[in-house]
C-alpha cells in the first residue's frame, strides 16, 4: 500500500525517496521534542548581509537541485522516522525559509554551501528578530537535511558539522497550582451536553498529562474505563498506556454514556466530538481550555500543555519516581523529564523553615 501523502505548504512533494536507513532517528527525536540545540550567529561575512521581507519562496521558484533532496528528506522523516504531520509541516516551512535565504545569496543547490553560509544563516535569522527557540528549530531542520544528504551520499561533506551548537537556556516550565487546577476543572459543571464533554476533556488532560494531539486523536478502542487505563499515540507513533483516576473516569463515563451517542452521526472512532459529530481538532480544544480558565478567573495564560506541565510537576512533588513520570509523559529522554524536578521557591522556603534549626 502506498504511503499517505501529506499536504505540502512549502511546495515539496513527499513521494517516496530512496532512503533505506535510519542512522539519526535519535537526533530527530531530541530535536522534535525539545528544540534542544541552536546555532550562534558567528563568522558572518559582509557579502552575506541581506535584508528581505518576511516571505517564503513559492514552490515554482525552488530549483530542482534543492526541491528534490528536500522532498526525499521529508519523505524519510514521515515514513521511516514516523514523524507526525505537524512535525513535517514545521520542517517544510523552515526549509522553505532556508531556500529563500539561499536564493538571496545566489545559491541554487546544496553542494556549494559551506560552514560560513550556515553560520551566516543563523545570524540572518537573529537579525530578523526571531525568538531563540524559533531560530533553534529552524537550524535543526537545516542540520538534519544536510545530515540526511550525507547519509544518502547526495553530498560528501556536512557543512553543519563544524558549526558551533550552543545550548539554549532551559526555561522552567510553568504550571498551575493545585488550587488553580481545581478551579479550572470545576469551571465546567457538566450540566449541559457541551459542558459535560468539556469537563471530560479537562479531567483527561490533568489525569494523564497527555498532549493535545494525543487527546484529539484518542479513539474508543484505546480507552478502557473498567481497567482504568487509556492508550495514547504519542510522537513517532509510539503508544503508551496511562492509568486514570476516579474523577476522570466519572467525567468520561458521563460524556461517553450520556452525550457522545447523541452526537455520533457518522459512527466515528474518535472519543471527543463536536455537536455535528466531527472529531475535535487542536484549535477547538485550545479554546475549550482557555474558556474554562476564563470562567475560573485564572489570570495567567492557560493552554493544554500547561496541564501537562502541571501533571508532571504535581506528580513529582507528591513523591513520584522520575522514571515513572517519564513513562507517563512518553519522553524518550530522561533529561526532558528532569526539567520538572525544580523546586519552587515557596516549597523551598517551607522545607527550610521546617528543617533548619535557626529558621
Known catalytic residues? 211, 235, 305, 308, 331, 340
Cα angle value 31/36/40 (rounded, 5°): 115
Q: Which of 1, 42, 4, 18 is nearest to 237 (CA)?
A: 4
Q: Cell numbers for 122, please give them.
A: 543563523
Residue 278, judged by CB atoms within 10 A of its CB (0-12, 13-18, 19+), counts as middle
Contact criterion met (CB below 8 Å) for 44 and 120: yes
Element (H, E) at 17: none
CA 28 centroid distance within chain: 12
Distance CA 155, CA 110 (A): 8
Q: Which of 121, 108, 129, 176 is nearest to 313 (CA)?
A: 176
Distance CA 243, CA 207 (A): 8
User: Which long-range CB contacts under 8 A does 23-28 form with residues at least 24 apart?
Assistant: 23/151, 24/144, 24/147, 24/148, 24/151, 25/80, 25/81, 26/332, 27/144, 27/147, 28/77, 28/81, 28/83, 28/144
Q: Which of 308, 314, 312 is nearest to 323 (CA)?
A: 312
Q: Cell numbers for 74, please give them.
A: 521529508
Helical segments of the chain, H only: 25-34, 64-79, 85-104, 115-127, 132-151, 178-187, 193-208, 212-216, 246-258, 260-263, 282-296, 304-317, 322-329, 334-338, 345-355
Amino acid at each position: 500500500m502506498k504511503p499517505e501523502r501529506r499536504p505540502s505548504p512549502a511546495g515539496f512533494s513527499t513521494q517516496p525517496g530512496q532512503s533505506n536507513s535510519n542512522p539519526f532517528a535519535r537526533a530527530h527525536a531530541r530535536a522534535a521534542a525539545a528544540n534542544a540545540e541552536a546555532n550562534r550567529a558567528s563568522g558572518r561575512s559582509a557579502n552575506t548581509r541581506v535584508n528581505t521581507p518576511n516571505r517564503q519562496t513559492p514552490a515554482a521558484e525552488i530549483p530542482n537541485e534543492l526541491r528534490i533532496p528536500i522532498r526525499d528528506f521529508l519523505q524519510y522523516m514521515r515514513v521511516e522516522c514516523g514523524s507526525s504531520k505537524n512535525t513535517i509541516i514545521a520542517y517544510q516551512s523552515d526549509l522553505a525559509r532556508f531556500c529563500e535565504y539561499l536564493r538571496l545569496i545566489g545559491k541554487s543547490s546544496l553542494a556549494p554551501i559551506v560552514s560560513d553560509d550556515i553560520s551566516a544563516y543563523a545570524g540572518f535569522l537573529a537579525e530578523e528578530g526571531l525568538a531563540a527557540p524559533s531560530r533553534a528549530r529552524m537550524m535543526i531542520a537545516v542540520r538534519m537535511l544536510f545530515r540526511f544528504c550525507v547519509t544518502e551520499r547526495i553530498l560528501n561533506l556536512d557543512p553543519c558539522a563544524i558549526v558551533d551548537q550552543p545550548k539554549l537556556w532551559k526555561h522552567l516550565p510553568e504550571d498551575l497550582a493545585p488550587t488553580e487546577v481545581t478551579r479550572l476543572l470545576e469551571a465546567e459543571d457538566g450540566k449541559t451536553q457541551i459542558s459535560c464533554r468539556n469537563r471530560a476533556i479537562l479531567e483527561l488532560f490533568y489525569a494523564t498529562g497527555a498532549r493535545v494531539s494525543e487527546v484529539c486523536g484518542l479513539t474508543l478502542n484505546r480507552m478502557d474505563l473498567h481497567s482504568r487505563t487509556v492508550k495514547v499515540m504519542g510522537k513517532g507513533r509510539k503508544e503508551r498506556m496511562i492509568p486514570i483516576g476516579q474523577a476522570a473516569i466519572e467525567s468520561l463515563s458521563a460524556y461517553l454514556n450520556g452525550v457522545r451517542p447523541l452526537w455520533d452521526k457518522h459512527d466515528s472512532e474518535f472519543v471527543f466530538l463536536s455537536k455535528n459529530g466531527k472529531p475535535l481538532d487542536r484549535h477547538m480544544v485550545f479554546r475549550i481550555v482557555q474558556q474554562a480558565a476564563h470562567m475560573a478567573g485564572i489570570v495567567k495564560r492557560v493552554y493544554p500543555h500547561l496541564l501537562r506541565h502541571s501533571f508532571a510537576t504535581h506528580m513529582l512533588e507528591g513523591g513520584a519516581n522520575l522514571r515513572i513520570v517519564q513513562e507517563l509523559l512518553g519522553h524518550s529522554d530522561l533529561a526532558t523529564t528532569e526539567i520538572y524536578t525544580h523546586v519552587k521557591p515557596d516549597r523551598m522556603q517551607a522545607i527550610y523553615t521546617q528543617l533548619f534549626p535557626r529558621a
